[in-house]
Structure 1
Amino acid sequence: MTDTTTTTDADRALKAKHRAMWAQGDYAAIASDIIPSLGVALVDALDITRGQYVLDIAAGTGNAAIPAAERGATVTASDLTPELLDIGQHLAQQRGVTLDWRVADAEALPFDSGSFDTVMSCLGVMFAPHHQLTANELARVCRSGGSIGLIDWTPEGFIGQMFATMKPYAPPPPPGAQPPPLWGNEDHVRSLLEGQVTDLRAERRVVRVDRFHSPEEFVDYFKSHYGPTISVYTFIGEDAEKAAALDADLRALVTRFSAGTGSTTVDWEYLLVTAKRN
């Protein structure tokens, strides 16, 4: 691996904070109960087959990595949060597939350049704070002619707007950190990968979520299951008035996105990107 970054105390503290955030709650339940189709959609888009060497960056509990292994690929699943990898390894064992689970920072991957035929991330790299560093690593570890694939929430879609809703209640981001939903903006992704890939294709899609029967149920679920939401409420602390205001804003968001459906069914928009490494 060629490391062109300089790790500072601030970097280490930020990464430790990110690890702790994603270790909270129950992201495995969100991945398996609400959005299980997204990992398969990414594997399908990349046409992953037997014999390929695949890296899933910020793999979480293996939502895309495990389906890739089920296609016969040799898969490495990396993530900053070891607790998520432990869950993923257990899930993979239940499904009868073997993967290489590696703790790794998306901004400084411990893999040699050109090591993989396919490099992918399903709702993962978008949360690494420094987008260009992450994009450079995505491209670096992919062999020439190999494939890169990403699924990320769009800024305008439901989850992107959920982050916008929580922003006024959250602590200010550290200097240099960029908003995760920018990875769901096609122009932004093209600029990050410019000169490193060819045949970049981007498509907006939606995943329909009908898991929740009321806005209140959605808010309660995300307050107990989703690390970023838990972190915002933790930051609010004992300020009951502010917590109630965020509750109301999140309920209003669900209502706005489900307007006209006659239910709380919501389409969560994401951007699917595929490209070829130069």
Structure 2
Amino acid sequence: MGRRVTPDEGLLSMTSTTGTAADADRALKARHRAMWALGDYPRLAADLLPELGRTLVEACGVASGDRVLDVAAGSGNVAVQAAKAGASVVASDLTPELFDAGRARAEAEGVDLEWREGDAEALPFADGEFDVVLSCVGVMFAPHHQPAADELVRVCRPGGRIGLISWTPEGFIGQLFATMKPYAPPPPPGASPPPLWGREDHVLELLGDRVTDVTTERRMLTVDHFDRPEDFRDYFKAVYGPTIAVYRSLAEEPERAAALDGELAELARRMDRGQGSTVVDWEYLLLTATKRRETVPSPR
């Protein structure tokens, strides 16, 4: 049996950087962009995550006439659903290589939306530009959590809505990152673990008193796409950028790569509740909030 991994989530960045803070940040973001361009994230989103886009759009009551921003949108899992609800939508992501698949999906669904390259920690939009600001397992991967949260609030109009879906530390994807962490290069100084966004107390601290009417709920996404635990592992090795990046870092260490093979399969086996095929529940945190109409300082 594989060892039990504690929820000690780790950001999977390639290496730390040197030089000025601005140079270091640019280099870090360049590596993040390259990591998410690896493999085929649009395929994963289409195969496993379409339910989450619908869930977030419905939870925030997105409707015709809303101006909506999908932050760290990837290939538009949320953005396309918001456009189908009649909203005017901008999908923004650090990795524009994902946009072609998103455009194709939007065309297939008969909707039109805008695609803009943008860093979640420095969004290229005006204060209060959007009625609804959403992110589905996206903004959580920005390395610096407080600036990312500040941007979510800044671009939302007073009285507008903010909605987030984030993987929890204890859930399957949180445990996936915890399993990979010992095999990955260390994160750069100042980076925070992504699944912290799946903790209610952490997100509430990030948003502070700038929001009201906050609701949080832990839910499960049931994934029954794989016949065997090994199939899950091989799929993630082929299509999921963070997993691909870890294995690339182990290219000269075949024994460690083999050990990670075993641990990833064991993770799926341990959490499998299926009979005859692999069925795993992936826990996530759904948060909705309203931006206060009065100005409240950032909780920095």
Is 1:204 the counterpart of 2:218 in the alignment? yes
Following TM superposition, by how much is the alpha carbon of 1:7 offset from its aligned partner in structure 2, in angstroms?
6.4
| Structure 2 residue aligned with 1:242 | 256
| Structure 2 residue aligned with 1:139 | 153
- Aligned-partner residue type, residue 62 of structure 2: I
- Aligned-partner residue type, residue 238 of structure 1: E
| Structure 2 residue aligned with 1:181 | 195
| Structure 1 residue aligned with 2:90 | 76
| Structure 1 residue aligned with 2:129 | 115
1:151 to 165, 190, 207: 165
- Aligned-partner residue type, residue 222 of structure 1: F
In 2: Cα distance, 1:20 partner to 1:126 partner: 17
Deviation string 1:190-214 (CA, Å, 9 cap, x unpaired) is 0000121011111000010000011
Is 1:193 the counterpart of 2:207 in the alignment? yes
Following TM superposition, by how much is the alpha carbon of 1:86 offset from its aligned partner in structure 2, in angstroms?
2.1
Deviation string 1:194-238 (CA, Å, 9 cap, x unpaired) is 121011111000010000011111111000000000000011113
2:180 to 166, 173, 177: 166
Q: CA RMSD in A?
A: 1.2
In 1: Cα distance, 2:288 partner to 2:95 partner: 25
In 2: Cα distance, 1:31 partner to 1:260 partner: 22
| Structure 2 residue aligned with 1:19 | 33
2:120 to 106, 112, 130: 106
- Aligned-partner residue type, residue 130 of structure 2: F
- 3-state secondary structure, aligned to 2:290: strand
Contact residue 227 and residue 276 of structure 2 kept, 8 A: no
Following TM superposition, by how much is the alpha carbon of 1:259 offset from its aligned partner in structure 2, in angstroms?
4.9
Is 1:30 the counterpart of 2:44 in the alignment? yes
In 1: Cα distance, 2:116 partner to 2:231 partner: 35
Tell me which of the two structures has the higher relative contact order, counting C-alpha pairs closer than 8 angstroms and 6 or more residues apart: 2
Following TM superposition, by how much is the alpha carbon of 1:89 offset from its aligned partner in structure 2, in angstroms?
1.3
**Aligned pairs for 1:24-103 within 5 A:** 24-103=38-117
Aligned length: 273
Point out where structure 2 has 5 or more consecutive residues left out of the alignment.
1-19, 293-300
Deviation string 1:77-99 (CA, Å, 9 cap, x unpaired) is 00000111222112111211110
In 1: Cα distance, 2:137 partner to 2:103 partner: 19
Cα 1:96–1:129 change in 2 (3 A) is same
Deviation string 1:25-50 (CA, Å, 9 cap, x unpaired) is 01111111111100000000001000
When structure 1 is superposed on structure 2, of 146-155 and 258-267 the one drifting more is 258-267
- 3-state secondary structure, aligned to 2:101: helix
Percentage identity across paired residues of the two chains: 64
Deviation string 1:47-106 (CA, Å, 9 cap, x unpaired) is 100000000000000000001001110000000001112221121112111101000000
Point out where structure 1 has 5 or more consecutive residues left out of the alignment.
1-5
- Aligned-partner residue type, residue 210 of structure 2: Q
- Aligned-partner residue type, residue 37 of structure 1: E
Deviation string 1:219-260 (CA, Å, 9 cap, x unpaired) is 110000000000000111131100000000111100111157
Contact residue 67 and residue 88 of structure 2 kept, 8 A: yes
Following TM superposition, by how much is the alpha carbon of 1:109 offset from its aligned partner in structure 2, in angstroms?
0.5
- Aligned-partner residue type, residue 113 of structure 1: D
| Structure 2 residue aligned with 1:3 | none
Is 1:265 the counterpart of 2:279 in the alignment? yes
In 1: Cα distance, 2:273 partner to 2:62 partner: 38
- Aligned-partner residue type, residue 180 of structure 1: P
TM-score (norm 1): 0.96
Cα 1:141–1:149 change in 2 (3 A) is same
